Chains A and B, each alone.
Chain A
């Protein structure tokens, strides 16, 4: 019996090592981006030229990326809308929206949205959705490059290392047990199942698609309290800062814009667009 328990302990230990190996490999493959996990003083003093990282406030180019990480294409579309309204090139009155062509887009995302919004065949909701879809691949590439987004093949590799490691450990332990009664084998099978299942779940949690982005979004949630309040009550109207709050909270976070709109992406029935020169 003690021999069987020893084998089970060994299986659990090796299974844990499998999870650990998955974490280490993920850490190396993801690159050295999000290793500062708190807004420490040293992180705050980092040079602004560094990539999106905990401790550095996102620049205008980072806002859509944050939106994508938080809420996917829909969040990007909503952030584009809020950015356009706060920049002033898109205006709403009732259920209709007008484009002011003499206001230049401030960044590529807004330029793409401006182009789609000017298409007379598209509703506002369709223009938002198409713009977000067009921007998505580039944003994903940036996220992957910055270690904020794990591509599918990397996630599968890490899961294979974690769960496969645990499974191998169990099989090795079983092979090591040269003599085993039927009762011991049943008990071993049960515990081995638990070891593999726990390892699988742990690996899954630790190798989630955007686990590192989660740390970034959590930190931003923490430091943007006053900004969020200022945008909600209309005190802050700078397009970049308003867009940042929209990226973090969606339309609900930008009360002064959101309540005035009735944009439904799914039904594409947002009000008609008309151009103004």
Chain B
């Protein structure tokens, strides 16, 4: 469990994290925070930033991942977020997940990977830390890892079919799937008690060594997309076998 920082250290963290972002992105995040605050008023419980903006490795093409925690999801209230969120997305790729405060602990059984990912590296920009007291069970984590990896495997098959004459589309799709499986693979390593930085390159490297599969085509930007898709399929197959056979008798979070 990650301890909740004090309000002072939280504020410092938020400022530090925002200061590391490019000025234009920082300006949009601050503008979005003000707009969301104005739109939701007392119904805004907290705002959390996670992902590469906090973890590191943020590039000019990275998303800024935010979680807006609210205490009321009335449709009219949510509609007030339409423009701030659309502008944030178009201007600076700010991607917002909207969660209700009461559902966060109850959804730990079905969102263990998301919560693992957020808890591993996040900063509170507004309000309290909604993830401070969460408990994630190992079996829930294992099931979700398997589900995510199998889902990615199915999507990869369809992607290869749909992009038969669209190499750019295949490349974009493989890139998207890689980002999608970063967190499940990091969780898989956690299930093996392997603690490692959870950026994509490191996770692929460690998982490749552990499962004895070649991940180099996935990390080479210049590589053509079909070999990358084939390598991704191999990694997914090995990871699915691994998680499927995993002993889940342990129950520690």
Residues of A within 8 A of B (CB): 39, 41-42, 44-48, 55-57, 93, 222-227, 229-230, 233-235, 241, 256
Whether A47 contacts B80 by the Cβ 8 Å rule is yes
Q: List 24 A-B contacts (CB under 8 A).
A: A41-B35, A41-B38, A44-B31, A44-B84, A46-B83, A47-B80, A55-B87, A56-B83, A57-B82, A57-B87, A57-B90, A93-B165, A223-B90, A225-B91, A226-B89, A226-B91, A227-B90, A229-B61, A233-B61, A234-B168, A234-B169, A235-B61, A241-B90, A256-B168
A89 CB, min distance to chain B CBs, angstroms: 16
Q: For residue B80, which residues in chain A have a CB less than 8 angstroms away from its CB?
A: 45, 47
When the two chains form their complex, are residues B83 and A44 in contact, meaning their CB atoms are under 8 A apart?
yes
B79 near A: Cβ within 8 Å?
yes
Which of B70-106 touch A at CB < 8 Å? 79-80, 82-84, 86-87, 89-93
Residue among B82, B87, B89, B168 making CB contact with A39, cutoff 8 Å: B87
The one of B35, B82, B92 in contact with A48, judged by C-beta atoms closer than 8 angstroms, is B82
Instruction: Decide if A224 touches B91 in the complex (CB within 8 Å).
Output: yes
Supposing A41-B31, A41-B34, A44-B35 touch, asked if A226 and B79 sit within 8 A by C-beta, the answer is: no
If A41-B34, A41-B35, A226-B90 touch, does A235 touch B83 (CB 8 Å cutoff)? no
Q: Is the CB of B83 within 8 A of A227?
A: no
> Inside 8 A of A230's CB, which chain B residues have their CB?
93
3 shortest interchain CB distances as A-B pairs: A57-B86, A227-B90, A44-B35
Nearest CB of A to B167, in Å: 10
Q: B172 contacts the other chain (Cβ, under 8 Å)?
A: yes
What A residues does B38 contact at CB under 8 A? 41-42, 45
Within 8 A of A (CB), among B32-48: 34-35, 38-39
Q: In the assembly, what is the distance between CA of A230 and CA of B60, in Å?
A: 11
Q: Is the CB of A45 within 8 A of B61?
A: no
**Min CB–CB distance A26 → chain B (angstroms):** 27
Contact B87 A223 (CB under 8 A): yes
Q: How many residues of B contact A (CB 8 A)?
A: 23
Mostly helix, strand, loop or mixed at chain B's interface?
helix
Question: Residue among B61, B83, B92 with the most chain A CB within 10 A?
Answer: B83
Chain A neighbourhood of B168, CB < 8 A: 234, 256
Complex contact A226–B93 (CB within 8 A)? yes
Q: Which residue of B lies closest to A224 (CB)?
A: B90
How near does chain B come to A249, taking the closest CB pair, in angstroms? 13
Which residues of A sit under 8 angstroms from B86, Cβ to Cβ?
Answer: 57
- In angstroms, Cα B91 to Cα A131, docked, is 31
- Are A48 and B91 interface neighbours, CB within 8 A? no
User: Could you tell me the distance between the alpha carbons of A227 and B63 in the complex, rounded to whole angstroms?
Assistant: 11
A126 to chain B, nearest CB (A): 26
B32 to chain A, nearest CB (A): 8
For residue A175, give the distance in angstroms from its CB to the closest CB of chain B. 55
Known: A45-B83, A93-B165. A223 touches B172 (CB 8 A): no
Q: Closest Cβ of chain B: how far from A116's Cβ, in Å?
A: 26
Contacts of B84 in A (CB 8 A): 44-45
The residue among B24, B79, B84 with the most chain A CB atoms within 10 A of its own CB is B84
Q: Which residues of B contact A55 (CB under 8 A)?
A: 83, 87
Q: Which residues of B contact A44 (CB under 8 A)?
A: 31, 35, 83-84, 87
Find chain B residues with CB under 8 A from A224 CB: 90-91
* Selected contact of B92 from candidates A41, A45, A47, A226, CB within 8 Å: A226
Interface centre among A223, A224, A227 (most CB of B within 10 A): A223
Known: A39-B87, A45-B39, A227-B91. 17 other contacts (CB 8 A): A41-B34, A41-B35, A45-B38, A45-B84, A46-B83, A55-B87, A57-B83, A57-B90, A223-B87, A223-B90, A225-B91, A226-B90, A226-B91, A227-B89, A229-B61, A230-B93, A234-B169
* Docked complex Cα distance between A233 and B169 (Å): 10
Q: Report B166 CB to chain A, min CB distance, Å.
A: 9
Residues from chain B with a CB closer than 8 A to the CB of A234 are: 168-169, 172
Give the residues in chain B near A229, CB-CB below 8 Å: 61
Q: B58 CB to closest chain A CB, in angstroms?
A: 13
Residue of A nearest to B169 (CB): A234
Q: How far is the CB of B173 from chain A (nearest CB, A)?
A: 10
Q: How far is the CA of A44 from the CA of B29 in the complex (A)?
A: 13
Q: Are A48 and B93 in contact (CB under 8 A)?
A: no
Which B142-179 residues have a C-beta within 8 angstroms of A?
165, 168-169, 172
A223-B83 in contact (CB<8A) = no
Asked whether, in the complex, the Cβ of B91 is within 8 Å of the Cβ of A223, the reply is yes
Min distance, Cβ B84 to any Cβ of chain A, angstroms: 5
Report A164 CB to chain B, min CB distance, Å: 41
Q: Which residues of chain B come closer than 8 Å to A233, judged between CB atoms?
A: 61, 172
Known contacts A41-B38, A234-B168, A235-B172; decide if A48 and B83 are in contact (CB<8 Å).
yes
* A146 nearest CB across to chain B (Å): 17
Q: Are A45 and B172 in contact (CB under 8 A)?
A: no
B35 cross-chain contacts in A, Cβ below 8 A? 41, 44-45
